[in-house]
């Protein structure tokens, strides 16, 4: 995943955070219980941690005391901008194959993990802050957005798989990006087991839309109505409800 994607999405986040369209204590509708200040702190903390991990070639998670704390009030935006620049500088100077800490079971792993993770983490939180400001989220790069969906199924779906199996969806789901070739995913979750395949397949509900809208949907940032729906939409809504619980 190119550094350009991380740069673009983090720049969009900073522009929205700096716009003044919503105060720091404004709620973030897609992150229940959070306000804008907490969202800025969350992403800034991730950036500062990543900058330290990559630049120091750490193979274990750093202690939070090693990271610069977020200041109160409007100074938090400037602090975020500093963490963003530190993160970009660390990634720009990184060797993709250097082994560093990450939060997965395969840690330490190649630094390339973080290029991809930061692109998708930032894209989704950029949508969060735009929605908090009452803005229509800007479309993301189709290829990056498609990989957001792929990464979700590779890294995050296994963490939620038990929830889906305990609360049956009542059918299978097929996702089809309309602006990226061969960007399709089919989820089967039934009878105590599940699978995700990258293929065109018939399912109980099919959702079609831009790769960006599919990425936002899979992360619960937009409702099912945002997509073209074919078949039993209750299966799709149940997927979002289970993961939101």
**Residue 234, domain extent:** 155-244
Examine the domain organization and report whether 124 and 32 are in the same domain: yes
Residues 104 and 186 placed together within one structural domain of the fold: no
User: 199 and 122 share a domain?
Assistant: no
Same-domain status, 161 and 121: no
Any idea which residue has 């189709």 for tokens?
142
pLDDT, tens only, 67-91: 999 998 889 999 999 999 999 999 9
pLDDT of res. 216: 97
Q: Same domain, yes or no, for 169 and 115?
A: no
**Does a structural domain hold residue 138?**
no
Same domain? For 33 and 98 the reply is yes
Structural domain count, the chain: 2
> In CATH, what number is assigned to the domain containing residue 51?
1.20.120.450
119 shares its domain with 163: no
Q: Any idea which residue has 């400001």 for tokens?
A: 133
Q: Is residue 148 part of a domain?
A: no
For residue 146, being part of any structural domain is answered with no
126 and 201, same domain (yes or no): no
Which of 132, 165, 195 delimits the end of a domain? 132
Instruction: Identify the residue whose tokens are 């979002």.
Output: 240
CA distances from 182 to 42, 141, 199 (A): 34, 16, 8
- Asked if residue 105 is part of any domain, the answer here is yes
Q: What is the pLDDT of residue 23?
A: 84
- 145 lies in a domain? no
Instruction: Verify that 125 and 160 share a domain, yes or no.
Output: no
> Does residue 78 fall inside a structural domain?
yes
- Residue 216, by phi and psi: left (phi above 0), alpha (psi -120 to 50) or beta? alpha
For residue 56, the model assigns a pLDDT of 96
What per-residue confidence (pLDDT) applies to 21?
Answer: 64
Note whether 124 and 161 are same-domain residues: no
Residue 191 has a pLDDT of: 66
The verdict on residue 124 lying in a domain is yes
Angle, CA 225 vertex, CA 183 and CA 221 arms, to 5°: 70
Does 193 fall in a domain? yes
If asked whether residues 125 and 161 sit together in one domain, one would say: no
Q: What is the pLDDT of residues 96-141, one digit of tens each?
A: 899 999 999 999 999 999 999 999 999 999 999 999 998 889 999 9
Cβ neighbours of residue 227 closer than 8 Å, sequence gap 6 or more: 207, 208, 209, 213, 214, 217
239 and 173 in contact (C-beta within 8 Å)?
Answer: yes
Same domain, 128 and 159: no
pLDDT along the chain (245 residues), means of 10: 90 90 86 95 98 97 92 92 98 94 95 96 97 91 97 91 79 96 91 86 96 97 96 93 76
Q: What pLDDT does residue 46 have?
A: 98
CATH at residue 227: 3.30.1050.10
pLDDT at 204: 96
């Amino acid at each position: 995943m190119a550094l350009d994607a991380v740069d673009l999405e983090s720049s969009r986040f900073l522009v929205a955070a700096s716009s003044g369209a919503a105060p720091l204590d404004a709620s973030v509708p897609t992150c229940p219980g959070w306000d804008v200040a907490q969202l800025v702190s969350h992403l800034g903390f991730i950036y500062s941690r990543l900058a330290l991990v990559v630049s120091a070639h750490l193979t274990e998670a750093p202690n939070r005391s090693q990271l610069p704390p977020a200041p109160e009030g409007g100074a938090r935006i400037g602090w975020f901008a500093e963490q963003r620049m530190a993160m970009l500088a660390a990634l720009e100077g990184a060797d993709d194959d250097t082994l560093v800490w990450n939060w997965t079971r395969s840690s330490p792993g190649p630094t390339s993990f973080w290029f991809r993770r930061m692109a998708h983490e930032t894209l989704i939180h950029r949508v969060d802050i735009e929605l908090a400001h009452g803005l229509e989220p800007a479309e993301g790069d189709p290829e990056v957005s498609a990989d957001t969906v792929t990464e979700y199924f590779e890294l995050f779906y296994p963490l939620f798989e038990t929830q889906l199996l305990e609360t049956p969806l009542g059918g299978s789901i097929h996702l089809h990006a309309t602006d990226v070739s061969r960007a399709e995913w089919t989820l089967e979750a039934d009878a105590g087991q599940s699978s995700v395949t990258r293929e065109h397949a018939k399912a109980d509900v099919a959702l079609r839309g831009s790769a960006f809208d599919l990425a936002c949907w899979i992360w619960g940032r937009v409702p099912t109505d945002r997509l073209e729906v074919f078949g039993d939409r209750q299966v799709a809504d149940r997927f979002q409800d289970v993961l939101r619980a």
